[in-house]
């Protein structure tokens, strides 16, 4: 009996996921059509939707993410401080949601409030496969934050030599200066400099 119950739950899970996604997407649609300012209840509905999207991405739950998109989720929905689903997907270093969101029309150059595009999110984890997907979709390799920094600046700052080399190989400007006049090489941590000698000599 217990085994049958387990099988039933497994069978019903995709249905429950779709129904939950449909309800949340409906909330999203209502919020877009509503007048402003939003009520407390509407803010709560938006927060619930955003939590569901973030959870689906961070838990690598492609079924729920697909269902949310199928039922009206904007692939460029602002999940807070300008972070879009694609920013979250790239940060998880998982190609599946990245490819799905790009296929559904997510902008590869959407910006957070600080001006970071999804390519910046690929840097800390050295997520080259994600960076490749973004560039195939038309992402700018030298996108700038509000402080004038590029993804290459971030790669150097994080000591990500392999990512820095990949960015340069794909057209990133090693001489780009931020608003403080700093080049990417100026940001390399002292204990990582040996790794970057070849990166910039090759570039």
Q: Where are the domains of the chain?
A: 1-73, 97-203
Alpha carbon distance 48, 148 (integer Å): 34
Per-residue pLDDT reduced to its tens digit, 150-176: 999 999 999 999 999 999 999 999 999
Tracing tokens 């029309």 back to the chain, one arrives at 105
Q: What are phi and psi of 83, to 5 degrees?
A: -75, 125
Q: What is the mean pLDDT of the chain?
A: 86
Amino acid 37: pLDDT: 54
Average pLDDT estimate for 122-137:
98
Alpha carbon distance 152, 155 (integer Å): 5
Average pLDDT estimate for 24-43:
55
Tell me if 100 sits within 8 A of 51, measured CB to CB.
no
Average pLDDT estimate for 31-47:
64
Amino acid 9: pLDDT: 37
pTM over 0.85: no
Q: Strand locations in 29-73, DSSP E?
A: none
Tell me if 131 sits within 8 A of 163, measured CB to CB.
yes
Pick the CATH number of 97-203 from 1.20.58.220, 1.10.1060.10, 1.20.120.1200, 1.25.40.20: 1.25.40.20
Amino acid 203: pLDDT: 54
Per-residue pLDDT reduced to its tens digit, 173-200: 999 999 999 999 999 999 999 999 999 9
């Amino acid at each position: 009996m217990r085994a049958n119950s387990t099988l039933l739950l497994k069978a019903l899970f995709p249905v429950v996921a779709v129904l939950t996604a449909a309800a949340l997407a409906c909330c999203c649609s209502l919020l877009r059509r509503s007048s402003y300012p939003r009520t407390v209840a509407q803010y709560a509905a938006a927060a619930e939707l955003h939590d569901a999207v973030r959870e689906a991405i961070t838990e690598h739950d492609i079924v729920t993410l697909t269902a949310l998109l199928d039922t009206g989720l904007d692939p460029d929905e602002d999940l807070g401080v300008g972070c879009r689903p694609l920013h979250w997907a790239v940060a998880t270093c998982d190609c599946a949601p990245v490819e799905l969101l790009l296929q559904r029309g997510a902008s590869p150059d959407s910006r957070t409030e600080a001006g970071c595009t999804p390519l910046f999110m690929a840097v800390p984890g050295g997520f080259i496969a994600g960076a490749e997907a973004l560039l195939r979709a038309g992402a700018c390799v030298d996108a700038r934050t509000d402080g004038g920094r590029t993804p290459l600046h971030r790669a150097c700052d994080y000591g990500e030599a392999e990512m820095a080399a990949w960015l340069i190989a794909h057209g990133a400007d090693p001489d780009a200066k931020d608003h403080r006049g700093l080049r990417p090489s100026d940001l390399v941590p002292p204990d990582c400099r040996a790794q970057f000698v070849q990166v910039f000599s090759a570039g």
